Structure 1
Amino acid sequence: MGFFDKFSSQFIDIIEWLDSSDNTISYRFERHKNEIKMGAKLTVRPGQVAVFVNEGKIADVFSPGMYELSTQNLPIISTLKGWKYGFNSPFKAEVYFFNTKVFTNFKWGTANPITIRDSELGPVRLRAFGNYSFRVNNPSKLLQELVSTDGLFQTDEISDHLRNMIMTSFASWVGEDQTPLFDLASHYRSLGEQVRQAIQRDFAQVGIELTQLLIENISLPPEVEKALDKRTSIGLLGNMQEYTQYQTAQAIEKSAQKPGTSNAGMELGMGMAIANQMMNGMQYQSSPQQQLPVTPPPPSQGKWYIYQNNQQLGPFSINQLSQQGLTPQTQVWKAGMNTWKAASEIPELTFLFPVAPPPPPSMEKQWYMYLNGERIGPLNQEQLSQQGLTRDTHVWTNGMEGWKKASEVTELASLLNSTPPPPPQLV
């Protein structure tokens, strides 16, 4: 080997990038005056792509592998100037390495609430948050659009931009979607995939692929959540009138157990309140039309409204009525009806109420009696006598509109006649 051959071998380069960080997207390989020697070895490892830039233009893109750089391998860099020593001259080029692995666990969320119109709740404001993952799928596009001459391009330089793109597209998508708000939680995975596909075109414009978009939560304002919690609590308690009466009676009982702290005026007021509640309940049961709203709700095509626990609820589809605890006595209304009616009076709702088969002919009628403040039953007629049935005892059985005194029920006349009258008073 001659002197010049030995001297020329000193210019052989090894061009590679070993990344010890987990947040670097692009790195520019540093060389003095960007001179890369002829015959240099380029090593591109798995999960990397190398982009050559010559005189401000992208010359070539190298996938994982080892390459020897020469004019044959880089035909686009063809005009090379001779070096004054006579060796193969170096060429000036910049090498950008791109990390093509998947960058995970980046957060996204709504900076401000999104206002949408829900089919059940009407206009509501909601917030959403989750995380996303991305990777570089077009290094040349990313270099032109965002990296430019940045020698060290990291995830924090692009994460805000990607998050804003996600939020803009998510807000537009969720505003057009017709999924009821109460059903969104069961569709988080499918919704995230739909939004990801819708956003992908925007990401591709900067050379990025959105590999995953997860929705962790979609929430309502605190005041709306509290109102929904109250509505759920009312549904769990059932009859609010009976619950209020029970709570009031418990309070009176506790007050009576503390003689030194009793307040006659307060107890009287509470007793009157109970009486008023009982009267209101009886009036509502006898004439529910008086408690209904005077003005029907605004029409909603094909939607139903119901009136329960002194509240107007809706609109609901016909399939959602059963989920709201619809009974044959529930008052309902929809566009086209003149007034509220019981659900059992609406022919198109009759299929929601299963028809109970009539009792067998041989089945003995079951009776109930109200004795000493307690409801006792079911009982047959013989058991009624054993329980101390009198003419003034209130009884009830299937087919009766309400409780009646035993003396008013023809079927019980034989039982009452067999009971001897009370002894005469001694003078």
Structure 2
Amino acid sequence: MANQNRAGLMDEIRCDEKDYLIWKWRPANNVRRENAIRWGSSLRVREGSVAVFICRRKGQDAIQEFIEGPFDEALNTSNLPIIASFVAAAYGGGTPFQAEVYFINLAKVVQSRFAVRYFDVFDQRFPDFGVPVAVRGTLTFQIADYREFIELHRLDEFTLEDFQSQVRDAVSRRVKSLVANMPSKLGIPLLQLAGRTDDLSELANNDLSPQLRKVFGIELSSLDIAAIDVDEESDGYTRLMAVTRDVTEATVRAQTEANIKNIHDMQRVQMENLQERLRIEREEGQYRVHKQTQTANFPAYQVEAQTTVGVAGAEALGHMGENGAAGIGLGGGGNGGMDMAGIAAGMAIGGSVGRNIAGAMDNMMGNTPAGISGSPVPPPISRQDRFHVAVNGAATGPFDLITLSSMVASKSLAPESLVWQEGMANWMPAKTVPAIAALFNNGSTPPPIPVD
């Protein structure tokens, strides 16, 4: 510090301290009162600092004046208006006036280490075991708003050491509370606290920044947690480790068993699904082959069915005389007479059977026996023409006209069904293709009966 006396009368008010946060100026002449400033004294304020003049009057609020650096001029009423309130008729050129002068270093960044001594922290899962935990870290701050800072502190009683101690105590109390709540807040075991210094630093910065600004008037630049120390020699740590190990082993074992069961269940379900899928595919394949065979041989199935009907009729005719169903009786229905009604019924059945058999044979051999009248038989269908049929958007076939005729009879081929044959440009409705259109009206339906 260098306070010089200009011409033995005037003061040069300045701060030459290299490392300070707040520093109070005092006159070089210790004979005078401490806060006496002579008229015409000069003031020098470095950049990044501010000079604060505080004039106190008995029974009145203190008057404050702020001069921000850089500044290097003689004091007068134009640059220090509070002087005007002290100027009076009795105030001479060298007469001093009372004012406290403080220099505040706005660029000063204060770094202070703090420590939280061992205290018990509890795991939320095992509240009976307290484990001692300690915290070490460093906080960095500076004065953000000097006007706000002055309102919060009496500068004449201010010392940086006391101020830092107050800030450290406040930080330590809050960090202790944060650490105690970290296991439940972060959802982590207590034994993992030692590796969560970054999480604690983030929590502390977010929590303490507004509090330090409000209570102390400082801006927290950073709060870095260097270490979270867990006392591994304590009884609480040993007991917690033991119970945690048991729980972990039981959890791992249960999880392994559950995983194995899940794997077995999945394999069983997959095998059952595979078997069921194969069964369905096998049955569908067999059904598909059966239907294809049935469709390709539909005329043979027709002949077989008609033959069965004829055989049944013939057997019925052969048994007409059994059990008195149509006995011979000449005496108007007596046991010894001829039953004419039974004979007529037998003849009718025989004729029907004969026509069925004749029709079946005619379909197979393409020849109608003379003297037997049956249903009109459509002309032979060529197997040369083969067509594809669209079924559910997919092409099936090709099918010959005999198969297509069977499909018409079984209603699986409709007039609107799309068909295609080699040489056709596009798919066409079946009813528009002459070779197939005839299958939908083959003369099997008799014309309307004329009305007299």
TM-score by length of 1: 0.48
From the two aligned structures, give the one with the greater helix fraction. 2
User: Bigger radius of gyration, 1 or 2?
Assistant: 2
